[in-house]
Structure 1
Amino acid sequence: MQKLLEQLTALHGPCGYEQPVSEWIRDTIQPFVDEVTIDPLGNVIGTKKGSKPGPKVIMTAHMDEIGFIVKKIEKNGLIRFEKLGGHDDRILLTQKVQVRTKSSYLTGVIGSISAHYAKFDDATKVRNHRQLYIDIGAKNVEDAKRLGVTVGAPITWLPSIDYLGDDSTGRFVGKGFDDRAGCAVIIKTLQELEGKSFSGEVSAIFTVQEEVGLRGAQVATRQVDADVGIAIDTTAVSDTPEETMDQTLALGAGTGIKVLDMSLISHPTVKEYLIDLAEEKQIPYQLEVFPGIGTDGGAMSLTNRGIPTGVLSIPSRYAHSPVEVIDINDLHATKNLLKEFILSLSEQSQFPFIKK
C-alpha cells in the first residue's frame, strides 16, 4: 500500500488535467480487471466479473487533486494564477509548487515579502490568491515562455511524501492524499480480489474533477447500471486543539463509515451493512457526521434511478494542503472493509430502502 501511495502522489493531476493519473491507473489495473476504458471526460472505468451471479457494485475514488492554473505571465516573469479546487489563502505563501508544461515539470514557489518587510505591512492581512504570484526563476515573459509556461498550464503542490516522525509512527505526510489514498485502496482491493471467488460484478471507477463539483462521477456512474455503490475518499478529522474541532473523528481510529455530509445522507441499509460487517470482521471504524465535506458518493446516489450508496472515509489532517497526514492503519482498515464488503455479497444480496 505504501508503494502505491508513493507512486500515485508523485503524479501530477489537478482538476481537469488528470491525464498522467488516468494513464497510470489504466495501465496499473489492466492485469486485474476484465476490461478497462477511459471515457471522454477522463474517468477510468475497470470491470471485474465474479465467478457467481450477484449484484453489480461500484467502488469509486477521485483521481484529481486540488491545484492551480496559469492565468498570466507578468513582464518580470512572475506568474499569476487561478485556483483549481478549494484552497485556504492563509497557507499559500512560500509553498513550493510544480508547473506542468508540454515537455517538462518546473519547480516554483508562491512568493511572499521578506520577513524584513513585515514591520511595514499589515500583519493581520490575508492576501487573496489573485494578489499572489508564482516565481519559477524566469527573468521576463520571454524567459518564462522559453521554459514552456503558457496560459492554462496546470500547477500542483511540489510532490512529496515522507514519514511523519519516522517509520515507527505509521503516519505519512505529503500532497495529494485527497484522494490518491482512495485510489490506492481500490487498486489494492482489485489486486487482492485476484484469484478469489466473489458474486456479481465490480466496477472500479476513478473519477476526474471531483474537487470542482463531483463532475466526473456524474458522468461515469451513469455508465454503470449498479445495484450498490461505495465511494472512497479522505475526510477531515477533528482531533486537534483548535476551538472549532469537536473531537468526533480521529486519526488512527479506523475507517470512517459515512452517516452524513453536505452531498449525501448515506443509504441506511448500506450504512448498517458496513457497520455490521466491520464489527463481525473486527475492522476498526468510526461513524462520520460532517457537513463540511462532499464526495463522489453524493453524485453516485443520484445516478440513474438512484444507487444505494455508502462511503468509506480515510481520516486526514491538514486536508487540501501540501502536508496532508494520514495513518497507514486507517488506510488498511478502509481497504479491508471494502474488500470484505465485496466478498460478503451473494446472489440474494439487496439493499432496499425499506426492509421487508
Structure 2
Amino acid sequence: YVDEVQVDALGNLIAIKRGGGKKLMLASHMDEIGVMVTHIDENGFLRFHSVGGLSPFSLIGNRCYFANGTVGVFGMEKLDEIKDLSMKKIFIDIGVDSREEALKKVSLGDTAAIKREFNDLGNRLVSKAMDNRVSCAVLIEALKQVQNPVYDIYAVFTTQEEVGLRGARVATFGITPDVGIAIDVTRTGDTPKSATMDVCLGKGPTVKVRDSSVLCTPAVRRHMEQVAKANGIPYQLEVLEAGGTDAGAIQLTKSGIPAGVMSIPCRYVHTASEMVDYRDVEQGVRLIVKLMETDYQG
C-alpha cells in the first residue's frame, strides 16, 4: 500500500506513498501512557513515575505489564480521605516478597503499560490505549483505501507524543511537509455532568479549532471542513481546553508548517477503558482519504 518505509532516530515509523509534488504529512502517535519504575523497596513493591498524563484514581485495582511479561497490580497505602490519593501513595505489586526477587523480574527505569482487554459493545468499542491506537488504525486503513493521492503522502506513526510531542517534531523537521495533519482522539461532553464540550460520540470525527498545544491554521481548518461537506462526511468542530496533539510540534517546526487536526471522539481518555464509536472511526477514514485526494491551496 506504500512505496517506502523508514524508521528515524526517535523510532518514528514513516510510510511514504507517492502521488504528487507537494508533501502531506499525516501523524498518528503510537505511544501510550504508562509508568516507569523509580524505586523497589525491601519487600519488592515498586514505586513509579507516570509516563504521560495519568490520574491516580484511574489506577487502583488495575494491572500493568512489562515488556518481559511481568504483570503488576496497582495498590495504595491506607488513606484517611480518598481525596488525599496521589501517585506517591500508589505502589505496584508484582507478587514477590523481597527486593531481590523483584530485581529478577524488573529493573529501575523499566516501563509498563496498562493491562486491559478490548471489548466490542456494538457501535461502541472499549479498550485501553484507544489513545491513540484507533488513530493509527484510521491512518492505516486510509492508506489502503486511497486511490488517487494528489500529494506525496508521509504517514508518520510517531513516538513520544504523550511526553512532549517529541517524535512529531523530529519527523516534521526531516520531512518539511507543505501541510501537516495530526490524527488523534479528543474528549467528549456527552456523559453525565461532564465538562461542557460540544463533542459527542456517534456524530462524526472532529475538525479541531484549538487545544493547549496548537491554534490550528485557519486555512487548513477551512479546507478540512470544505472537504467533509463536499463528500457528505459528518463532522464536529472541536475546541479542546486542555491537552495537546502532534500538530503543536508540526506547526512550530522550522519556519512554520500549516497544520490541522482530525480527532476521533473518545470517552474516558487516559484511563484503562477508553471508548470510541465505530461510526466515527469509519467516517474518520473517509475524511482522511478525501484529504489525501484533495489539493490544499492554502
2:18 matches 1:49: yes
Structure 1 position 163, deviation (Å): 1.8
Per the alignment, residue 7 of structure 1 pairs with none
Q: What letter corresponds to residue 152 of structure 1 in structure 2?
A: G
Per the alignment, residue 95 of structure 2 pairs with 137
Per the alignment, residue 110 of structure 2 pairs with 153
Alpha-carbon distance in 1 for matches of 2:230, 2:10: 39
TM-score (normalised: structure 1): 0.80
Q: What letter corresponds to residue 297 of structure 2 in structure 1?
A: Q
2:66 matches 1:106: no
Per the alignment, residue 62 of structure 1 pairs with 29
Does the 8 A contact of 1:159 with 1:175 survive in 2?
yes
Say which of 317, 327, 334 aligns to 2:284: 334
Does the 8 A contact of 1:61 with 1:205 survive in 2?
yes
SS at match of 2:76: coil
Q: What letter corresponds to residue 37 of structure 1 in structure 2?
A: Q
Structure 1 position 145, deviation (Å): 2.2
Per the alignment, residue 176 of structure 2 pairs with 225
C-alpha distance after superposition, 1:163-188 (max 9, x if no partner):
23xx3xx1111111111111111111
Structure 1 position 126, deviation (Å): 2.9
SS at match of 1:180: helix
Give the 5 Å matches for 1:1-356.
32-50=1-19, 53-100=20-67, 104-112=68-76, 121-146=79-104, 148-164=105-121, 167=122, 170-193=123-146, 196-242=147-193, 245-345=195-295, 349-351=296-298
Q: What letter corresponds to residue 238 of structure 2 in structure 1?
A: E
Alpha-carbon distance in 1 for matches of 2:203, 2:268: 17
Q: What letter corresponds to residue 44 of structure 2 in structure 1?
A: G
Alpha-carbon distance in 2 for matches of 1:110, 1:303: 39
Alpha-carbon distance in 1 for matches of 2:294, 2:86: 50
Does the 8 A contact of 1:263 with 1:297 survive in 2?
yes
Does the 8 A contact of 1:209 with 1:216 survive in 2?
yes
Percent of residue pairs bearing the same amino acid type: 40
Structure 1 position 99, deviation (Å): 2.1
Does the 8 A contact of 1:61 with 1:231 survive in 2?
yes
Runs of 4+ off more than 4 Å: none
Does the 8 A contact of 1:89 with 1:126 survive in 2?
no
TM-score (normalised: structure 2): 0.96
Structure 1 position 263, deviation (Å): 1.1
Structure 1 position 40, deviation (Å): 1.0
Q: What letter corresponds to residue 350 of structure 1 in structure 2?
A: Q
Q: 1:235 to 1:33 in 2, by over 3 A?
A: same
Q: What letter corresponds to residue 36 of structure 1 in structure 2?
A: V
Alpha-carbon distance in 1 for matches of 2:225, 2:50: 37
Unmatched 5+ residue regions in structure 2?
Answer: none
Q: What letter corresponds to residue 304 of structure 1 in structure 2?
A: K
SS at match of 2:65: strand
Structure 1 position 159, deviation (Å): 3.9
Alpha-carbon distance in 2 for matches of 1:55, 1:125: 53
Does the 8 A contact of 1:240 with 1:247 survive in 2?
no
Alpha-carbon distance in 2 for matches of 1:246, 1:142: 50
Does the 8 A contact of 2:7 with 2:14 survive in 1?
yes
Structure 1 position 198, deviation (Å): 2.4
Unmatched 5+ residue regions in structure 1?
Answer: 1-31, 352-356
Structure 1 position 333, deviation (Å): 1.2
Does the 8 A contact of 2:197 with 2:239 survive in 1?
no
SS at match of 2:191: coil
C-alpha distance after superposition, 1:50-81 (max 9, x if no partner):
1xx34210000111101001111111111111
Structure 1 position 247, deviation (Å): 4.3
Does the 8 A contact of 2:73 with 2:93 survive in 1?
yes
Alpha-carbon distance in 1 for matches of 2:83, 2:261: 38
Q: What letter corresponds to residue 150 of structure 1 in structure 2?
A: S
SS at match of 1:245: coil
Structure 1 position 279, deviation (Å): 1.2
Alpha-carbon distance in 1 for matches of 2:31, 2:151: 29
Structure 1 position 240, deviation (Å): 1.2
Does the 8 A contact of 1:80 with 1:134 survive in 2?
yes
Does the 8 A contact of 1:67 with 1:83 survive in 2?
yes
C-alpha distance after superposition, 1:96-121 (max 9, x if no partner):
11122xxx2112110136xxx8xxx5
Number of equivalenced pairs: 298
